[in-house]
Chains A and B, each alone.
Chain A
Amino acid sequence: MNRIVSLISGIIFGIGLTVSQMIDPAKVLGFLNIFGDWDPSLAFVMIGALIVSSPFFHLFKSNKKPFFADSFSYSNNKELNKKLIIGSSLFGAGWGLTGLCPGPAIASLALLNNSSIVFVVAMFIGFYLAKFFDLTTQAR
């Protein structure tokens, strides 16, 4: 059953990115262009997502186990450190250059767009590099 949930969650997430147009990097760049012609839509995407997901975490985190798995698995890392700031800054720079972040970039592979493919391949190389240099943080 958890396999089906994984697939369905992915599909719903991908539809959400499409409905909200966040799949289009131009729309994301419009949000980051706060000092120019600003498109606040991305903020509404986040508000919509948080309104739905937040109550779930707070209602069910005291449950002993999830429906289709033995335990909840996420880290409770609370450390605010250099890696958090440096990593987020590198990500922010790449995001601002193109308007692409991991979710929309992967979802846009559906459109068989060469630019998305180049970005996603480079992003996967970036994942490997972080792993290779042992920078990976498994936590939020």
Chain B
Amino acid sequence: MTAPAIECEGLGRSYRQRTLTGGGKETVALADLSLRIEPGTVFGLLGPNGAGKTTTVRILSTLLTPTSGAACVLGHDVVREAAKVRRDIGLVLGGDRGLYGRLSGYDNLRYFAALNHLPPAMARQRIDTVLGMVGMADRAGTLVEQYSRGMKQRLHIARGLLTDPQVIFLDEPTIGIDPVGAQELRDLVPQLTAQGKTVLLTTHYMFEADQLCDTVAIIDKGRLVALGAPRDIRQRFSRVGVIELTLSAPRRGLADELRRLQGVERVTASADGPFERLTVYTPPDAAFAGCVRAAAGETGVVSVVAREPTLEEAYISLLR
């Protein structure tokens, strides 16, 4: 059994807010989180805003101390051996901040290389490599304050990869990036794991987690609510059945008629070229396809398919 890249045991973080009267209110950001992340894998941390995803990343990257439990990265305790942890990790925090706007992209990377003790020659080589990896080589000389949000995000990722770290924390890395750019960055992740690196990814995009992650953990209000491979999560934790009805043309009133069927939880309508697609959500394992077909009749029905819920649908049903 190989040693885990990241391991948490009963990890917790709470904040105490003092009041003027001397009392205090405790807010729990993370409670009793236990995880084991194998080397060379992509681990997704999913959850709504305030669930504790970023708190987890901050604890593991030594920026925040836990108030209970323990965590190790590459065998080093994140509190007692923080300096050793910092040498081996790359941290990518999402958003517009975290760069010097008055410096060029190249100079930003040169600064962060210096912070991490890269010798000048190696720094130049790594900067060229990571700029190429994120498709920013031709804009490296431009001041960061002139970058779009997507370009800043790419530079953040380049910075996170600069030291060739063994463990990479990606906190919502594709947020704000155009779809093509986001996909290019997603394509980077398998390249990293192919080099034996471990990636901890937080994201709101379920398809991203589905596409990239070997294992996902869903946390809510600081607590772990589901853990497993995306496929397992879809199957084990989904509390919905999904039936997709495709019509050759929109049909007024049919969605309302389906909503009235007993047991149907909700119905969404979307256009798919000339077709209309009605997605009917039902309790799991319920044999609703026949009812839906009967309600729709034969005319104009292209297909009625019962399909496995997506990770997003499983996620929503789990957190509702």
Interaction A to B: no
| Interface positions of B (Cβ within 8 A of A) | none
The chain A residues found within 8 Å of chain B, CB to CB, are: none
